[in-house]
């Protein structure tokens, strides 16, 4: 593909990240979870290559959506942790 031959830089990279986040949001709104996950991961992969100044050029609404959805629905290590279940006593207590 031509995308792999010439990596995006500068304004083109920022524009592509914006496009991918918007595409992921539209897939999410359409209840296409697989498509949303795929586009979000692509957007996140490119977003992580941006400098701090470039990240500031991404609209805040898109940045918040990307972070929130990343952690809340697609994992990210900061979600709820499951409680360990208490083992049942042997022999069926209470009978």
Please give the Cα distance from 80 to 78 (Å, whole number).
7
Range of the domain at 57: 2-72
Domain total in the chain: 1
Output the pLDDT for position 11: 87
- State residue 91's pLDDT score: 74
Q: Is the dihedral of CA 20, 21, 25, 28 positive or negative?
A: positive
Q: Is residue 61 part of a domain?
A: yes
Greater confidence (91 vs 51) lies with: 51
Residue 76 has pLDDT above 80, yes or no: no
Say if 89 falls within a structural domain.
no
Transcribe 2-57 into DSSP letters.
Answer: HHHHS---HHHHHHHHHHHHHHHHHHHHTT-HHHHHHHHHHHHHHHTTS-HHHHHT
For residue 82, tell me if it sits in a domain.
no
- 78 pLDDT tier (thresholds 50, 70, 90): very low
> Residue 8 pLDDT more than 70?
yes
**76 in helix, strand or coil?**
coil
Q: Is 87 part of a structural domain of the chain?
A: no
% residues pLDDT > 90 (the chain): 42
The answer to the question of residue 65 being in a domain is yes
């Amino acid at each position: 593909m031509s995308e792999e031959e010439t990596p995006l830089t500068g304004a083109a990279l920022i524009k592509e990240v914006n496009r991918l986040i918007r595409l992921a949001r539209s897939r999410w709104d359409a209840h296409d979870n697989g498509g949303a996950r795929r586009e979000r991961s692509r957007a996140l992969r490119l977003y992580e290559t941006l400098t701090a100044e470039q990240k500031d050029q991404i609209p805040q609404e898109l940045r918040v959506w990307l972070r929130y959805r990343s952690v809340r629905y697609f994992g990210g290590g900061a979600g709820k942790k499951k409680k360990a279940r208490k083992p049942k006593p042997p022999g069926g207590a209470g009978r």
